[in-house]
Amino acid sequence: MTQPTTASTTDDEGGVLAGLRATLAELSGTDVTGLGEADLLEVVAVLEEAKGAASAVQARATAAFVADRDERAGQQRASGEITRREAAVLRRASRTEVALARRCSPGQADRHVGVARALVTDLPHTMAALTSGRISEWRATIVARETSCLSPANRREADRRLTKCLTTLGDRGLAAAAHRACIDLDQAAIVERRRRAAASRHVSARPAPDGMARLSILGPVVQVVGALAALKSAEAARRTATGDPVMDAERAADERGAGAWQADTALELLSGRASGQPQPVEIGMVMDAAVVDPTRGPGGGRGVGERVEVTGFGAVPAAQAREHLLTVCAAEGDDGAGTWLRRLWTGADGRDLVAMTSRQRVHTGGLRRLIELRDQTCRIPWCDAPITQIDHALPAARGGPTSAGNGLGVCQRHNLDKEAPGFTVRIESTGLDADGPDPGGGPHAITLSTPTGRTVHSHAPPILGHGRDVHTTSRVEILLEEWLRAA
């Protein structure tokens, strides 16, 4: 992914942009070598204040940009130029432009916009502290978040009450103080906020270090605590003798700790597996464009099979993957267990996915699966959301083909927002040639342009993920070099 570029802007009154770019250039060239300990710490303190002040300027610019776009959409809606739905699309698309400018996901941009508007309109004391660099952007976000349920008048009063503790309390203490102020000013608003929060309950999964992942359930506190209490109660009961010698012996031989047992039990119940039944898997085996000895290759004789990637979660050690595969294959009598092998063909350098086979029981959706495997997450820069839709880069209504080259894996938000007026997507490279897979074609690449003239470039990630060596020569050439050296 390359750096974004911006079309030339006009009406830069007072040289604001020029001044900011000059400040950035000066900071980038700052050298702290030779400074004493006291001076080094002072540099840290001054830069922390500078980050707060920069965040205040960023908030004002964000609020002004969004206000202009919302006003324009409102005027077009009032005059009948656009429908209500089109006006909503325009307003939402402006937040997507903020996301591209801040290099973050659309969800984060929505929060940034909400905080910016609150700081500019309803939180003058918090904004003043941020402008002077006395608090960070995150602490300003805490105040904005905790007071979001209040009316503008009550919000300004809560802001006034928090003035003295903005710079003295920790983050948790500041959040608690803001919550107390909200309860004192409008208890009904807090009750309504909690009622609405219950409607947002959901389940999500996200990667964790060391090959683990977290399954999170956001729900009402009473129900979540009750579910956890039930798991703890069941775990405690496994230490109670049942009178059945076989079952008691099995329990005694179980050396899992309380936390491990609770996690295993919860996952088995949620996935519908019987106790001890392995999780069925689909294996995507990366294949070279040329047939080579799978036991040899770059990296000191390690073959391509030594690199394993779990789509959406990252790399795992090959030994761990083999261990799980052997567990699945060794399972007997488990009708739900199964292993499916899908060959993924890469270019000569092993970077880009160019084709795949489909050997599953259900054969439909092979093209969709190819694009999902190629793109891995939403293709719009800085958005790590899972792929929910496969979109045409060149719309089908304008003759865009339904093909891997013209397909993009995107989240629902970006699929809708990029259809707003002024957004364009251009295919720079399909990774394919007229005759099919082109091992030298490079990654699939697109350019996204926004209504303000900003352009960002997106390349499909390596099939085995970022952070690994990409070979500029084919594996056949590498193998031949090894043979020549051995001779």
User: How would DSSP label each residue in 197-243?
Assistant: HHTT-EEEEEEETTTEEEEEEE--HHHHHHHHHHHHHHHHHTTS--S
Residues facing 447 on adjacent strands = 426, 457
Q: Are residues 108 and 67 in the same domain?
A: yes
Q: Does a structural domain hold residue 223?
A: no
Q: Are residues 54 and 125 in the same domain?
A: yes
Q: Does a structural domain hold residue 6?
A: no
Give residue 436's pLDDT.
44
Structure tokens at 462: 């390596």
Give residue 83's pLDDT.
92
pLDDT band at 286 (very low <50, low <70, confident <90, very high): low
Structure tokens at 392: 């045409």
C-alpha torsion 335→341→342→343, nearest 10? 180
90, burial (CB in 10 Å: exposed 0-12, middle 13-18, buried 19+)? buried
> Considering only CA atoms, which of 439, 389, 444 is closest in space to residue 419?
389
Q: Does a structural domain hold residue 263?
A: yes
> Considering only CA atoms, which of 429, 233, 456 is closest in space to residue 347?
429
Give residue 351's pLDDT.
61
Integer Cα distance of 341 and 285 in angstroms: 7
Give residue 335's pLDDT.
46
* DSSP state, residue 74: H
- Tell me: the pLDDT tens digits for 201-223? 888 887 787 778 888 888 887 78
Tell me the one-letter amino acid at 438.
D
Structure tokens at 403: 């093909």
Q: Are residues 303 and 411 in the same domain?
A: no
Q: Are residues 319 and 242 in the same domain?
A: no
Q: Are residues 132 and 262 in the same domain?
A: no
Q: Are residues 151 and 122 in the same domain?
A: yes
Backbone dihedral angles phi then psi of residue 174, each to the nearest 5 degrees = -65, -40
Q: Are residues 394 and 343 in the same domain?
A: no
Q: Does a structural domain hold residue 132?
A: yes
Asked if residue 13 has pLDDT above 50, the reply is yes
Q: Does a structural domain hold residue 11?
A: no
Give residue 377's pLDDT.
87
Asked if residue 312 has pLDDT above 70, the reply is no
372, 392 in Cβ contact below 8 A? no
Query: Domain end: 249, 272, 295, which one?
Result: 272
Please state the pTM of the whole predicted model: 0.68
Q: Are residues 371 and 445 in the same domain?
A: yes
Lowest mean pLDDT among 195-204, 367-376, 459-468, 478-487: 478-487
Asked if residue 133 has pLDDT above 70, the reply is yes
- Tell me: the pLDDT tens digits for 43-84? 999 999 999 999 999 999 999 999 999 999 999 999 999 999
Q: Are residues 297 and 405 in the same domain?
A: no
Please, which residues have CB within 8 angstroms of residue 61's CB and are 6 or more apart in sequence?
none
∠ CA 397-382-127, rounded to 5°: 115
Asked if residue 248 has pLDDT above 90, the reply is no
Asked if residue 26 has pLDDT above 60, the reply is yes
Integer Cα distance of 458 and 384 in angstroms: 13
* DSSP state, residue 273: P
Query: Domain end: 356, 391, 408, which one?
Result: 356
Which is higher by pLDDT, 196 or 312?
196
Tell me the one-letter amino acid at 88.
A
Q: Are residues 329 and 395 in the same domain?
A: no
Which is higher by pLDDT, 262 or 239?
262
Asked if residue 85 has pLDDT above 80, the reply is yes
Q: Are residues 46 and 182 in the same domain?
A: yes
Sign for the pseudo-dihedral over CA of 387, 392, 394, 397: negative
Integer Cα distance of 311 and 285 in angstroms: 12
Q: Does a structural domain hold residue 318?
A: yes
H or E element: which one contains 269? helix 258-271
Query: Domain end: 303, 336, 356, which one?
Result: 356
User: How would DSSP label each residue in 451-480?
Assistant: TTS-EEEEEPPPTT-TTS---SS-HHHHHH
Q: Does a structural domain hold residue 465?
A: no
- 436 is in which domain, residue-wise? 367-459
Integer Cα distance of 315 and 464 in angstroms: 8
Give residue 181's pLDDT.
93
Q: Does a structural domain hold residue 476?
A: no
Domain count, the chain: 4
Lowest mean pLDDT among 10-19, 91-100, 287-296, 307-316: 287-296
Q: Are residues 90 and 186 in the same domain?
A: yes
pLDDT band at 191 (very low <50, low <70, confident <90, very high): confident
The residue with tokens 């029981």 is 361
Backbone dihedral angles phi then psi of residue 66, each to the nearest 5 degrees = -65, -40
Integer Cα distance of 237 and 248 in angstroms: 12
Tell me the one-letter amino acid at 423.
F
Give residue 96's pLDDT.
93
pLDDT band at 142 (very low <50, low <70, confident <90, very high): very high
- Tell me: the pLDDT tens digits for 359-411? 443 324 677 888 888 888 899 999 888 888 888 888 877 877 777 788 888 99
